[in-house]
Amino acid sequence: KNEVEQSPQNLTAQEGEFITINCSYSVGISALHWLQQHPGGGIVSLFMLSSGKKKHGRLIATINIQEKHSSLHITASHPRDSAVYICAVSPTGNQFYFGTGTSLTVIP
């Protein structure tokens, strides 16, 4: 059983579409992280949140602690958003649990 489940696994969108990626987790956490990984491996931290909502540019992340669920939204998607988006949670800080990622392709 995975502590972190993401959906969908793969997502193809037309440029300009609104995109939602979901993350559910089964453990108590101190923080949830959304990461972006481009081909070649480099990982960039997009958001770290423990409650509520955060916005950065066209990206919005929300978390519902009671429901153990988080969503990452991308507004006005662009081909450069194509990447793998990974949800990770840290229960105690000593260990991270990662989802398997959502592979996003945005078509011009």
Partner 1 sequence: DAGVTQSPTHLIKTRGQQVTLRCSPISGHKSVSWYQQVLGQGPQFIFQYYEKEERGRGNFPDRFSARQFPNYSSELNVNALLLGDSALYLCASSFTPTGGYEQYFGPGTRLTVT
Shortest CA distance to 22 belongs to which of 76, 55, 63? 63
Interatomic CA distance for residues 23 and 11, integer angstroms: 14
Site string for partner 1, 56-95 (x = CB under 8 A): ------------------------------x-x-xxxxxx
Interatomic CA distance for residues 85 and 90, integer angstroms: 17
Nearer to partner 1, 99 or 106 (CB): 99
Contacting positions for partner 1 (CB under 8 A) = 4, 29-31, 33, 35, 40-45, 48, 50, 86, 88, 90-101
